[in-house]
Amino acid sequence: MLAPRELEKSPLFRDISYEEYRKMLPCFQAAGHSYQPNELIYDFSDPTRDDVGVVERGEASLIRIDEEGVATVMEELGPGSVFGRNLAFAGPAGDSLEVICRTACDVLFIDYPHILRRCENACTYHSTLVQNMLRLMADKAQALSERIDVLSRRSIREKLLCYFRQLASRGGGESFTLPFSLSVLADYIATDRSAMMRELKRLREEGLIRSEGRRFTLL
């Protein structure tokens, strides 16, 4: 079960109180599971999976694996993050999607058909959850579009600057904080970490960016 503070962060439970959240779990046949680092949490190719996962504790990664076995981090998942087959969008044929545990994780799984089914008790929070689900699908579609924009760039420099502009635009300024480590950033833009670090150094030397840790500014 999500803690009250984490519940507020979860887009799936927006505008739903903690008391309503506790009441809805049995209604949606929710079940919790724990995972250890590097353990498979969710395989999107499994046709039996018809549930939505919510990270309650720990960190996980949504990974895309292409036909050649190359893994790319699509999304970093923390407390409140949501994933599931019904929230994913098909990639190239032969690619697979998996959620892998990064640190010890607790994940709550909610039966997706129960979310969409008409509530016999006419619960107000049920309709709110459906609205949140639709909004979440739209947000993930936007995130996918932004990711494709980054990956479509030819050079490491172009990928970095494209992603940095996206982050800066979200914050409404020129400065932003990376949502993950530099190692994960290399995976996110699908490039070698050493090559990416060299390009970051050149961008700093040329006066195009300024950085301190995970804090960056476009100049």
Range among 93-97, 131-135, 185-189 rated most confident: 185-189
Q: What percent of the chain has pLDDT over 70?
A: 94
In this structure, the answer to whether residues 49 and 124 fall within a common structural domain is yes
pLDDT reported for residue 218: 94
In this structure, the answer to whether residues 110 and 160 fall within a common structural domain is no
pLDDT reported for residue 195: 96
Higher pLDDT: 49 or 208? It is 208
Confidence category of residue 40, pLDDT binned at 50, 70, 90:
very high
Q: Is residue 145, in this structure, part of any structural domain at all?
A: no
Q: Is residue 146, in this structure, part of any structural domain at all?
A: no
Whichever domain contains 188, its CATH number is 1.10.10.10
pLDDT reported for residue 122: 59
In this structure, the answer to whether residues 184 and 111 fall within a common structural domain is no
Lookup: tokens for 134: 């639709």
In this structure, the answer to whether residues 83 and 180 fall within a common structural domain is no
In this structure, the answer to whether residues 116 and 9 fall within a common structural domain is yes
The answer to whether the CB of 118 falls within 8 A of the CB of 83 is: no
Whichever domain contains 16, its CATH number is 2.60.120.10
Give the mean pLDDT of 145-158. 90
In this structure, the answer to whether residues 126 and 33 fall within a common structural domain is yes
Q: Is residue 89, in this structure, part of any structural domain at all?
A: yes
Confidence category of residue 217, pLDDT binned at 50, 70, 90:
very high
In this structure, the answer to whether residues 120 and 168 fall within a common structural domain is no
pTM here is 0.71
Q: Is residue 96, in this structure, part of any structural domain at all?
A: yes
Q: Is residue 183, in this structure, part of any structural domain at all?
A: yes
In this structure, the answer to whether residues 125 and 164 fall within a common structural domain is no
Instruction: Tell which of 87, 118, 140 closes a domain.
Output: 140
pLDDT reported for residue 90: 53
> CA 49, 51, 57: angle at the middle one, nearest 5?
115
pLDDT reported for residue 208: 95
With 0-12 / 13-18 / 19 or more C-beta atoms within 10 angstroms meaning exposed / middle / buried, residue 15 is exposed
Instruction: Tell which of 84, 115, 140 closes a domain.
Output: 140
pLDDT reported for residue 49: 86
Which domain range does residue 195 map to?
153-218
Q: Express each pLDDT in 103-130 by its tens digit.
A: 999 999 988 887 777 666 657 777 888 8
In this structure, the answer to whether residues 158 and 136 fall within a common structural domain is no
Structural domains of the chain, count: 2
pLDDT reported for residue 153: 93
In this structure, the answer to whether residues 136 and 189 fall within a common structural domain is no
pLDDT reported for residue 84: 86
Lookup: tokens for 111: 């039966």
In this structure, the answer to whether residues 125 and 166 fall within a common structural domain is no
Q: Express each pLDDT in 50-101 by its tens digit.
A: 888 989 889 999 888 878 887 877 888 888 888 888 776 555 556 788 999 9
- From the CB of residue 211, how many other CB atoms can be counted at a distance below 10 Å? 16
In this structure, the answer to whether residues 121 and 167 fall within a common structural domain is no
Confidence category of residue 27, pLDDT binned at 50, 70, 90:
confident
Lookup: tokens for 77: 């998942």
